[in-house]
Structure 1
Amino acid sequence: MAHQQHAELLQTLHDCTATCNHCFDACLQEEDVKMMAECIRLDRECADICAFLEQAISRNSPFVSELAKVCAAVCEACGKECEKHDHDHCQECAKACFKCAEACRNIA
């Protein structure tokens, strides 16, 4: 089964989704939310595509490779935005995003 073959990637996707959701929520609590707008937007984009790819892999979708390519691009963009901010939640998110982007590129 595809989900067993990709167990490590599924966990990486799940972790990235959770980390992006945490960053999204924490950014909304920051004093200057306007400054965090792009980070918040990309956190949502990244969490959504990671969750979708996780589901696609689990159901053995024929589009996994294409979705993984898109997921890698979104994760990379989110990681680059998050690393611009000094907040711990942004730095943790950047690391999770870069790890996920690399894992996605490996199956794309």
Structure 2
Amino acid sequence: MALEQLPVDDRAADCIDNCFEAAQACEWCADECAGEGEGMARCLRLCRDVADVATTHARFMARSSNYSPELAEVCAGACEECAEECERHDAEHCQVCADVLRRCAESCRDMMTA
């Protein structure tokens, strides 16, 4: 079944896509940061947090959970904090991750009122 066929509206489907994309970008970024030394520890930790919360939020949205608005707020906040950290680093993976996280945060903020 394609995502377009799931029983969620277009905003939720977009947010689910953005959350999974954020999780993927964060896993990549965290893995790259792990090989770059101690100065990347905060970035790595935040990326791991976002990967976990974003996938959880996507799963809750897919099943139309009543807790989704609260998770949307947590996910947006985590994405924004992690994006700020990633933007401090010149590495390509951090810059790509920050861009993806900004989109995810925006769609999660939109879901807070859904």
TM-score band, normalised by shorter chain: over 0.9
**CA root-mean-square deviation:** 1.2
Percent identity between the two aligned chains: 38
Contact 2:12 2:111 in 1 (8 A): no
Alignment of 1:53-92 (within 5 A): 53-92=57-96
Residue in 1 aligned with 2:24? 18
2:47 & 2:9 partners in 1: Cα distance? 25
Q: TM-score, normalised by structure 2?
A: 0.89
Residues 88-103 of structure 1 aligned to structure 2 (within 5 Å)? 88-103=92-107
Q: Which amino acid aligns with 1:67?
A: L
Query: How far off its partner does 1:9 sit?
Result: 1.1
Gaps of 5+ in 2: 1-6
Find the residue that maps to 2:89 and give its secondary structure. Answer: coil
> Amino acid of the residue matched to residue 63 of structure 1?
Y
Q: How does the TM-score come out when normalised to structure 1?
A: 0.93
Note closer, same or farther for the CA distance 1:53–1:91 as it changes in structure 2 (3 Å cut).
Answer: same
Deviation at 1:59? 1.3
AA matched with 1:107: M
Report matched runs for 1:25-40 at 5 Å. 25-30=31-36, 33-40=37-44
Gaps of 5+ in 1: none
Matched position secondary structure for 1:85: coil
User: Segments of 4+ in structure 1 off by > 4 A?
Assistant: none
CA apart distance, 1:2: 2.5
- Residue equivalent to 1:41: 45
